[in-house]
A and B are shown apart, each in its own frame.
Chain A
Amino acid sequence: MRSPLSEAPLAALVAVLAPALAALLLAVLPMVRRRGAPAAWICLASSVASLVSAGLLLAGQLGEAEPMAWTTSWLTLDGQGLGELGVNVDGISASMLVVVTIVALCVQVFSVSYMHDEPPDAYGRYFTYHALFLFSMNLLVLAPDLLQLFAGWELVGVTSYLLIGFYYRKPSAGRAALKAFWITKLADMGFILALAVLFTSTSAFRFDAELSTPLANVVAGLLFFAVVGKSAQFPLHIWLPDAMEGPTPVSALLHAATMVAAGVFLVVRADPIFAHAPDTREVMLVVGSLTALFAAGLATVQTDIKKVLAYSTCSQLGYMVAALGAGSTLGGYFHLTTHAFFKALLFLSAGSVIHAVHSNELADMGGLRKRMPLTATAFIVGSLALAGIPGTAGFFSKDLVLAALEGRMGWLPYVALMTTAFLTAFYMGRVVLVAFFGEARGKADHAHESGALMLGPLAVLAVLSLGVGYFGAHFAEVTATGEYHLHFGMTPAIASGLALGGFALAYAVFGGGRDASGVGVLALLDGAARSALVDRTYEALYRHGMLNAAAAIGWFDRYVMDGLVNLSGWLTLVAARSLRRLQSGFAPDYVFAVVLGALALAAWGYLS
């Protein structure tokens, strides 16, 4: 798959290398990085270059351009190349690239203002990480094979670790960063094994490897394990809510719109393998539906606005996974795209609010609609899209997902996701009512609207959250992931009805500034959320399992293995001390020994 370096791969190379160059420059030139503002400019310039390249690539794919790749082998084995390094441009990668670069640029512009109060060196560090992230994500998106995709996959994991731990002086940020990295790394063991299995049977790492069904099930299953970690699916979802320790724009970019969606993207990319893995898809359907419902339930009782959105992200990723499990690659991928825009919008609006009230707690907000009308509008637009109100982007993509589930597994996933749609509208309605309506509470009294640098990205994302849904047919065509139909049957009607019902219930419970956290079901859910059973299980496994095993092995090595070494040393010393007596230094002793020896010899001669 080598083609001459023509225009399209050149644009793709720019998309990857511009942020790489920016990250490298900022990493090796601390004097630039520590001045802050220049770092932001370099990072933004590289992101603009990436965005323009991405736009060109997508335009090409929408037009006449053929999919193309430019690759070189990365490793050497038996005199031949192994693993492809380069860029692979087709409808799937070009569309994802556009989504990633738009959201990234919005988030970075937003950050220029949001992070303004940071000291210059932290400000520079922040944008260095952003450049590194965009490079890694583009590397992943444009990967020509699974090996490079894995490289990008791990690198986005590291930037996530660095960005969650951005406020490294805060102990909770450190803990959250480690937790996120460890959990995803644990899941990535599946990815490595999948690569090993694939390599063993095909000597390559291609997305479209032709595998027998059992083998495809194994490879897809192992890959899916990695997806469960990266895309925060039950039971490895626990790192995502904690990841909210990072700066809010980071949550928008990495932990909502792009990085966590990488798992879903992987499944879309490796669709030829997953298509031959029916058993794995069944598992995906179950895990996705379960996560969607479970996380939506937890989202209803969070008191921290970012945590609501984090659980909501888990839940929506569950939608995508369920759609992919049901075989609707288009549904999963389209929902990824729309979700990227409206969830980034929600997080950035939340960031705007947090910036104004200096708190994440819903209890500190209230009545913000009057003080921050534009932010409030943006947040409400995002909420409507997330809830899937007809006309918004979320409606169209959710419709595809739900339609794909009709009749599957005795309608159970369908019911679960429908319930989730209701809960989604309920918890978003709650946040909107508590934060933006009613009376201003505490710090919210002094809030004022954010500046243009923060509102601009919100406007862009709001437009996309409303408009992208209408391009489903184009999207289906360019990505070649399936046929697009808008369903005018029961499914969209029920879903819309449930969404409206969710909002209505939220209004009934929380409207007019009521605090209803103690009400029946909610209190129950709250209790369940607080018990954090899953979290504690991992904690116990780590503390009681891993650390104790380490202590035991360390002890064994120190005292038993090394003890044997020391014992042999000690025995040598003891033996030397006793044998030393033989050499007493007195002549009579030696004469005595000589005589004894002579007698022994004589006796031996006589006897034999």
Chain B
Amino acid sequence: MSLLLPVVVFAPAIAAFLLLAIPDSQKAATRAVSLLGATISLLGSIKVALDYDRSAGGLQMGYDLPLLPTLGIHLNLAVDGWGASLLLLTGIIIFAAVLASFTVARRDKEFFIYLLVLVSGVFGVFVAQDLLIFFLLYEIAVLPMYLLIGIWGSSNKVAEDGPFRYVWSLLDVGGREYAAMKLTLMLLMGSAAILVGIFWLYLEAGATSFDLAELARHEYAEPTQLIVFPLFWLGFGTLAGVFPFHTWSPDGHASAPTAVSMLHAGVLMKLGAFGVMRVGMVLLPEGTHAWAPIVGAVAVINVVYGAFSAMSQKDLKYIVAYSSVSHMGVVMLGAATLDSTAWNGAVFQMFAHGVMTGLLFALVGLIYERSHTRIIATMGGFGSVMPVVALFFTLACLSSLGLPGTAGFVAEMMVFLGAWRVGHPIWAIAGIVGAFVTAVYVLRASRTIFWGPGPSEKFEHLHDAHGSELVAPIVLGAAIVVFGVWPRLILDLIDPSTSANLAVITRVIGGGQ
């Protein structure tokens, strides 16, 4: 039994526990402990990725602690290649997110506690092999968001004109409480669907435990497959921003404080996609097979519709949020193909989009802290006063539009190749069009913000990122380039798990498509 995984998973939670013992006034200690917890997890996740035996594949570094043996509930942690790469992503993002949160002024101790507890949940989901624990940790990852956005978020009421003004004011649309509530309610609705699905499978399998491997051995009846798969797809999919359940994302991400946006768009949305693939598709091969065309068609909507929606936004954070909806569509598109190329691409896209959007939100946070505006039309010429921010923003944009040499390219390319190979040219073309539209809106925004004559008088005093603010952009920017230039660092992890998981599906549905 290796203790590595429990350390990675629970280090942040333990740090959060320690924070309880630190007085509110000790800001430096609060930050140090938080950063320590995140760092341990980051280093641990790097070690997991390095130690994982790529040739052997399968589940490794198992840790098993019976919690409720009578009900067959174990704290059963083990990592496969997908898990290892997503642990690494989570480690990178939380490290950067803690650093980006050093500017939180109000009630910062509580902020860090929620943030760290949340991230323990995220780490756990990627390695939990017991479905009930999986679900529990999933909820731990989702629920603190309500407080994090509701307390530390920003209200940003976009002035509504016309017939909707009155209704919108009734509902407090754009307020942080509204955003927090909307996000939480929509995600919980998804959770409810997932829970129903889990119990359904548990009962039908007559299982003695919630062990994923045990549940996967049972062949579920056809009606079960056809009914439970959409529960998982839409349940987890809500968190992955699957159309039409994506509207929590723009409001939620826009209202959330920087670190929370980074974590939410960077990692939490991947929990959803990971859940669909790891639980929904692997447990229910026939259901997957039957529903795949619809999953793919909806993903196409996500990609194109999300990109066009992003293009129409005036608020920088909304642009980034909608771009997440679009990019997560690429993940779901890859998943729906049931092809090894595209699955590698889909998991890689989870990673690539995670670091890219994490970087974008970190930079948007930096810009907002200085200029106190997120409306891009009011910005302009910022490149003259903050060249470093401009550099990293450009890098993130280029990864977003899928430039070779950045992580985004490998992911999108593999998804498109796979989609074409299995005979879904429309999906591939839609994805490629989405990437083109992305090129239009990200570079357009980048130009409006950073290019042009020097900034107006109001923004002349803005200064560039410096000191500890630079750490998060450097770490995330480096990840984009390193994994873009040498993708095999994690593709070699992802590939064996893709083969193993896909084999389960193709065995049942007969030789694959």
Q: Interface residues, chain A, CB within 8 Å of chain B?
A: 27, 30, 73-79, 82, 121, 150-152, 154-155, 158, 161, 165, 168-171, 174, 177-178, 181-182, 185-186, 189, 192-193, 195-197, 199-200, 546-547, 549-551, 553-555, 557, 559, 561-566, 569-570
Contact = CB atoms under 8 A, between A and B. Distances in A.
Closest 7 pairs between A and B when the two form their complex, measured CB to CB: A554-B312, A151-B404, A196-B420, A550-B311, A553-B308, A550-B312, A562-B247
B421 interface: yes
B62 interface: no
A76 B308 CA distance: 32
A549 B308 contact: yes
Given A168-B452, A169-B451, A182-B440, A77 B340 contact: yes
Contacts of B308: 549-550, 553-554
Contact of B311 (A79, A150, A196, A554): A554
B436 A77 contact: no
Contacts of B440: 182, 546
A174 B436 contact: no
A149 to B, nearest CB: 10
Interface in B302-324: 305, 308-309, 311-313
Interface string B415-445: 0110111000000110011001101110110
Nearest to B440: A182
Contacts of A177: 447
Interface stretch (B36-44, B106-114, B164-172, B215-223): B164-172
A178 B447 contact: yes
Contact of A566 (B173, B437, B451): B173
Contacts of A553: 305, 308-309, 312
B495 A192 contact: no
Interface string B336-354: 0000110010000000000
A192 B311 contact: no
B451 A557 contact: no
30 contacts: A73-B488, A76-B494, A76-B495, A78-B340, A79-B496, A121-B387, A151-B409, A155-B403, A168-B452, A178-B447, A181-B439, A182-B440, A189-B436, A195-B413, A196-B416, A196-B419, A196-B421, A197-B420, A199-B417, A200-B420, A546-B440, A547-B311, A550-B441, A553-B309, A554-B309, A555-B312, A561-B247, A566-B171, A566-B173, A570-B171
Contacts of B391: 27
Interface residues of B, number: 67
A169 B381 contact: yes
Nearest to B54: A76
Contacts of A161: 443
Most buried by A among B313, B417, B419, B439: B417
B306 to A, nearest CB: 9
A199 B421 contact: yes
Contacts of A551: 312
B429 A193 contact: yes
B417 A196 contact: yes
B53 interface: no
A171 B452 contact: yes
B444 A178 contact: yes
Contacts of B299: none
B432 A169 contact: no
A200 B341 CA distance: 11
A168 B451 CA distance: 5
B452 A75 contact: no
B488 A76 contact: yes
Nearest to B478: A28
A80 to B, nearest CB: 9
A557 B305 contact: yes
B47 interface: no
Contacts of A181: 439, 443
Among A27, A30, A557, the one with the most B-chain Cβ atoms within 10 Å of its Cβ is: A557
Contact of A75 (B186, B428, B491): B491
B487 A74 contact: yes
Contacts of A554: 308-309, 311-313
Contacts of B416: 192, 196
Contacts of B164: 559, 563
Contacts of A151: 404-405, 409
